[in-house]
Amino acid sequence: MAMSKQVFFILTALVGEPRHGYGIVGEVAELSEGRVKLKVGTLYGALDRLTAEGLVEHDREEVLKGRLRRYYRLTRSGADAVAAEAARQHANAEAATARLRGWQARHA
């Protein structure tokens, strides 16, 4: 149920269009504005787990300029999971900032 930052970004990177592993790395860096540099050791393991959990599935394989590209696609349940996690994170951030606001106000 709980989801790591890495997995969250992997799933988010797959929203809209299928991507291959190495492509996900770059997309995550862009999405997170450089905050998350996904390691390949993390990626492939996570991809396998997510596939087993049904949040992601194989899309297709391409050979581009002699290099194999294995594409992954988000499932319906994967999209739901991203949306739910985003909502949770939004709520969490909101709760914290509200607290900080209130505290600063009382100490102004």
| Residue 66 binds to DNA (criterion: CB under 7 A) | yes
Shortest reach from residue 94's CB to DNA, in Å = 21
Candidate residues 11, 38, 74, 82; the one interacting with DNA per rule CB under 7 A: 38
The stretches of the chain forming alpha helices (DSSP H) are 5-13, 21-31, 40-53, 76-106
Cβ proximity to its own copies, 68 vs 87, nearer residue: 87
What gap in Å lies between CA 37 and CA 96, rounded to an integer?
25
What gap in Å lies between CA 55 and CA 11, rounded to an integer?
8
Contact residues: DNA, CB under 7 A: 2, 4, 6-7, 20-23, 26, 38-42, 44-46, 49, 64-70
